[in-house]
Structure 1
Amino acid sequence: MMKINVSEIAERIGHEMAFSFDAKPEDIGQLIDDCELTGPIMVKGTAVNTGMCFRIEGNITCLVACICDRCLERYQVEGNYPFAEEFTRDENLAKTEDMNCFDGDIIDIGDLVRDIIISAQPTKHLCSEDCKGLCSVCGANLNKTECGCNRETIDPRLAALQELLQKNR
Structure 2
Amino acid sequence: MEVQFLDLLVKDGRKKAIDFSLDFEPIKFEGEVIRAIKPVKVEGQLVSRNEILELEATIETELELNCSRCLDTFIYPIDIDIEERFTNNKELQDEEGIIFVEGDTLDLSLIVENSIISTLPIKRLCAEDCKGLCSNCGANLNVDKCSCNNYDVDIRLAKLKELFGE
- In the alignment, residue 80 of structure 1 is paired with which amino acid? D
Aligned equivalent of 2:50: 51
Rounded Cα–Cα distance in structure 2 between residues aligned with 1:8 and 1:19: 14
2-side partners of 1:132 and 1:46: how far apart? 43
Could you state the TM-score of these two structures normalised by the residue count of structure 1? 0.85
Structure 2's unaligned 5+ residue stretches are: none
Residue in 2 that maps onto 1:63: 62
Structure 1 unaligned residues grouped into runs of 5+: none
RMSD: 2.1
Q: Are the counterparts in 1 of residues 137 and 148 from structure 2 also a CA contact under 8 Å? A: yes
Residue of structure 2 in register with 1:148 after alignment = 147
Q: Map 1:79-94 onto structure 2 (within 5 A).
A: 79-94=78-93
**2-side partners of 1:44 and 1:126: how far apart?**
28
Contact kept, 8 Å, 1:31 with 1:118, in 2: the verdict is: no
Scaled by the length of structure 2, the TM-score of the pair is 0.86
Distance 2:57 2:137 in 1: 47
Asked if the contact 2:24/2:39 (under 8 Å) is kept, the reply is yes
- 1:18–1:45 Cα contact (<8 Å) kept: yes
Residues 94-150 of structure 1: CA deviation (Å, up to 9, x unaligned)? 22344223433x422222111111111111110000000011121111101211321
Equivalent in the alignment of 1:121: 120
Report the structure number with the largest CA radius of gyration: 1
Identity, in percent, stands at 33
State how many pairs are aligned: 163
